[in-house]
Amino acid sequence: MNALNLFLRGSATLGFAAVLAASASAADQPVKVISGFVSPESVIHDSDSDEYLVSNVGGPPVVVNHGFISRVSPDGTILDLRWIQDGVNGVTLHGPKGLFLHRNELYVADVDTLRIFNRRTGAPVRSIPIPNPFAPAALFLNHVVVTNSGTVYISDQLNGAIFTVNPQGYASLLASGPQLGNPDGFLVNDGELSWVTFFGHEVRRLVASGKIVMEASLPIVDVTGLKLGPNPLPPGALLLDGYTRWHDFLLVSSWVTGKIYRIGRSGTDIQAVFQVVGMQDNPSSPDGPAKIEVDRLRNRLLVPLFNRGELVMVQLQD
């Protein structure tokens, strides 16, 4: 998450526990909350080591030395809060966000650079600077996915762009413009790239022909009076962030509503499977459900709460 750092990151007036208790659907689900993170933005399950990796932005979204990545066991124990940390063992991590595991490597979207680490040791492998066609505006790389062939896709939510890095390490701009809807969370499925629109309410897909199509549309809510920093939210904006797959469903997180939505294969059959504090509940300090993940070994939803410094584990109901 980038622009949402403009929110206060103190304790929410309406806490996560209050909304959990008020929600019958959430209250019926086994939930565990792990505290101690610093602006956790993304979580991923390393099924090889059976651990969760959590990216911590660690501070404002500017190029300073404060980012780190944590290791967490499935029982909720923080194994190593600062497993990979900026300034330690040759590591540079300014504000790490999206994470992706590919073969023996951990890929990290870090402000303006793709950083790659050894997934087992955390040692830095290489860094690939991303060219900035939007200068003097800064890059704000947000999420990253890697195809089986080694092609990397990276979203820039703030500039409304998608970058690609080929298997040889050459980085370039793939697409930009309003037709992308400010892409945030990414997925690659059947060779096609899809994403959630941060300033919209849709899931969009880039099909093989090069055309961008709408895969799903989430229910619009009234955002009148809600602001991102000093700017009013555009109509229909849900601030969609996390995006993952669970069985035949898509799961999407929204900062505005605080909901994790489940979307059926047809793009309809939309239901909320979990709820935290959204901007509608507390405009100045929502919980901030960021880049979600599913632990498929345990059928467990993992939700990093950016503003609360927490990772929430939720047992999904089939």
Its CATH architecture, for the domain 3-315, is 6 Propeller (2.120)
Give pLDDT, residue 244: 97
Residue whose structure tokens are 């897909």:
205
User: Which has the closest alpha carbon to 108: 90, 120, 121, 95?
Assistant: 95
Report the alpha-carbon distance of residue 262 to residue 137 in Å, rounded. Answer: 35
**Do residues 236 and 256 make contact, with C-beta atoms less than 8 angstroms apart?**
no
Integer Rg of the chain from CA? 18
Report the alpha-carbon distance of residue 162 to residue 188 in Å, rounded. Answer: 13
**Average pLDDT along the chain, 318 residues, taken 10 residues at a time:** 39 39 49 96 97 90 74 98 95 95 97 97 98 96 96 96 97 96 92 94 92 94 93 96 95 98 88 96 95 97 97 92
Residue whose structure tokens are 């969609």:
240
Domain boundaries, the chain: 3-315
List the structure tokens of 10.
Answer: 């103190």
Q: Quick check: pTM over 0.75?
A: yes
Report the alpha-carbon distance of residue 9 to residue 273 in Å, rounded. Answer: 25
Bridge-partner residues for 173, per DSSP? 163
Give pLDDT, residue 104: 97
